[in-house]
Amino acid sequence: MIQLPTQITGGAPWVCWRSVSFGNDGGKNRTGFLEAAERAFRIFDDLNPRRSASWSYEKARVSHPKLFEEVAYRMLQLDHLEIFNPQELSHILLAYTKSGESNKRLFKKIADHIIALNNLREFKPQELSNVVWSFEKVGASHPKLFEKVADHMIQLDHLGKFNPQNLSDVLLAFAKSGEPNPGLFKKIADHVIALNNLKGFKPQELSIMVLSFTKAEEPHPMLFTKVANHIVALDSLHQFDPQALANTVWAYAKAGEAHPSLFKTIADHIAGLEDLHGFEVQHFTQILGAYGSANIVHPHLFEKIPVFVEEHIAFAKLDKESLKMLLWAYEAAEKAQKSSNKN
């Protein structure tokens, strides 16, 4: 059997994925990447499917639909996928998801294969999170697959091997896919609550976590309290980007977890920023709407955002939905302010 030339793979089947496709060169070597693809095509008939399937072009910012089509075709012709290990399967799913070349028939074949396994012990946390994240991202609904992953995680003695990103990706995938699993959410919440601290969690992971619990309608007051106390205790919130800030307050307001200290800390931070150019209309909508819905008034915040919006946002260019949501947020904030004045 002809092997992939070392100038393509570096001598190992998955080096191409790890080095080129995940961007050690930042995707700068576009020409070389395309040339490698063409060389792969010339020897495609003799390639081991496992090696062929390792190609991903998303990180190199190179589109090559024909190669993805060929890989999917070859894999769909196989009687089974036992030759693929968990890492290879998760990388294939990730490649198709990130490249925008998703193939629902291939995703179904992979899902059916995973479901048929006796257990998922060979899957590492990163591989499990890649699998459910990829299915949610491409909109490939497969309830039995999500159930299998959830059951596996619930049965584990602990989730100590799952890092914060693994946990947040799993939670968001289940929440957005419409496959919420109370047992899994409780397992993760209990794990997070038992941690000594949340220093290992990045702002985005914290915001995604509470956002996921809210979207899935899985209340867990102790988790929300732990996250809020952690954020309030931080020296500053400069590591929180606008999306993380907006998602956090929206999640707390929507879940009915109005944590006054948290809302004040985030409002003080936003009001103290020199400018708000990093924020988009959707962020302002979430933030004002959250404070209004939670009936929490912050005069400086309520003044700063409308002034900035009036000076820098072109209302005529907003689509109807964005304009509608922004006006709703203004009304919610105004209603909260009036209520506060009466008291």
pLDDT digits (tens, 9 = 90+) for 195-244: 999 999 999 999 999 999 999 999 899 999 999 999 999 999 999 999 99
The three-class DSSP label of residue 71 is helix
**Would you list the domain boundaries of the chain?**
1-77, 85-224, 235-343
Judge whether 135 and 111 are in contact, CB under 8 Å: yes
pLDDT at 35: 54
Please tell me the distance from the alpha carbon of residue 97 to that of residue 329, in angstroms, as a whole number: 34
85-224 in CATH: which number? 1.25.40
Query: Pick from 60, 130, 120: which is nearest to 92 by CA?
Result: 130
Reported as a single tens digit per residue, the pLDDT across 155-166 is: 999 999 999 999
Distance CA 169, CA 144 (A): 18
Residue 337 banded pLDDT, cuts 50, 70, 90: confident
Task: Give CA 318 to chain center in angstroms.
Answer: 26
Comparing CA positions, the residue from 229, 288, 285 lying closest to residue 260 is 229
Q: What is the mean pLDDT of the chain?
A: 83
- pLDDT > 70 in the chain, percent: 81
pTM, two decimal places:
0.82
CA angle 93–165–254, rounded 5-degree value: 105
The beta-strand segments (E) located in the chain are none
Q: Which residue has the higher pLDDT, 16 or 343?
A: 343
pLDDT tens for residues 98-141?
A: 888 778 999 999 999 999 999 999 999 999 999 999 999 988 88
CA 118 to chain centre: 28
Q: Is the pLDDT of residue 23 over 90?
A: no
pLDDT (0 to 100) of residue 20? 31
